[in-house]
Amino acid sequence: MIIGLTGSIASGKSTVAKMMATLGLPIVDADVVARDVVEPGTVTLATIAEHFGQDILLEDGHLNREKLGNVIFHEPAKRKLLNDIMHPAIRQEMLRQRDAYIQEGHPHVVMDIPLLFESKLQHFVERILVVSVSEQVQLRRLMERNQLSEEEALARIHSQLPLSVKEKGADAVIYNNENLTNTEEQLIKILTYWGILQDK
């Protein structure tokens, strides 16, 4: 089974991904893939440099994320161009990793995709697991974790699809408002129900 794991900023999705990895499930992490596809020597990085100029590269050949971020922040057309270069490369690599795990004989693969719904990637997976949290808890965690003001934290939360909308598109939801033990119990119950884990 291909499981799509998603959530929103500060919902605890990464924590659930670690729990799933500990249970022996292979993880395809969209955030890691997004960094890998622009490593020095990749076609994607060469294409970005071709369109945005060599000065978006650091001396050691790595992408200068801060400089590129400043370029696209003020220019929507350039942001779209960057996305048009990055997204196909990320998707291709994610599918390559997914298929490699299947060929190795793994019966189940987790695809950890933060923007699963926003990017309309539901067709990549067979079941969707959403890690949800109340906005009060989400706001508090985000302010503490990233040292943000309430206004800054709310702006980041509202830039994503509301969790209530994601919950409607989910096959199962983990409510991560309490402690880790409670979260893990919910995860194990769902994976057992789906036949991924056997009843102890």
Each residue's pLDDT tens digit, 60-69 = 999 999 999 8
pLDDT score, position 53 = 93
pLDDT score, position 198 = 83
Ligand-binding site membership of 10 (annotated): yes
Q: What CATH architecture is 1-26+108-200?
A: 3-Layer(aba) Sandwich (3.40)
Q: Where are the domains of the chain?
A: 1-26+108-200, 31-105
Cβ count near 57 (within 10 Å): 19
Let me know: does 133 contact 163? Beta carbons within 8 Å: yes
Instruction: Give the pLDDT band (50/70/90) at residue 200.
Output: low
What's the pLDDT tens digit per position in 109-139?
999 999 999 999 999 999 999 999 999 999 9
Instruction: Identify which of 151, 98, 152, 101 has the alpha carbon closest to the alpha carbon of residue 125.
Output: 98
Instruction: Give the pLDDT band (50/70/90) at residue 49.
Output: very high
Ligand-binding site membership of 30 (annotated): no
- In the predicted model, is pLDDT for residue 73 greater than 90? no
Ligand-binding site membership of 15 (annotated): yes
Handedness of CA 142, 157, 133, 150 (dihedral sign): positive
DSSP designation for 60: T
Ligand-binding site membership of 164 (annotated): no
What's the pLDDT tens digit per position in 83-114?
999 999 999 999 999 999 999 999 999 999 99
For residue 196, give the H/E element and its range: none
Q: What is the pTM of this model?
A: 0.90
Average model confidence (pLDDT) for the chain?
Answer: 94
- Which CATH code of 1.20.1070.10, 3.40.50.300, 3.40.50.2300, 1.10.1040.10 fits the domain covering 31-105? 3.40.50.300
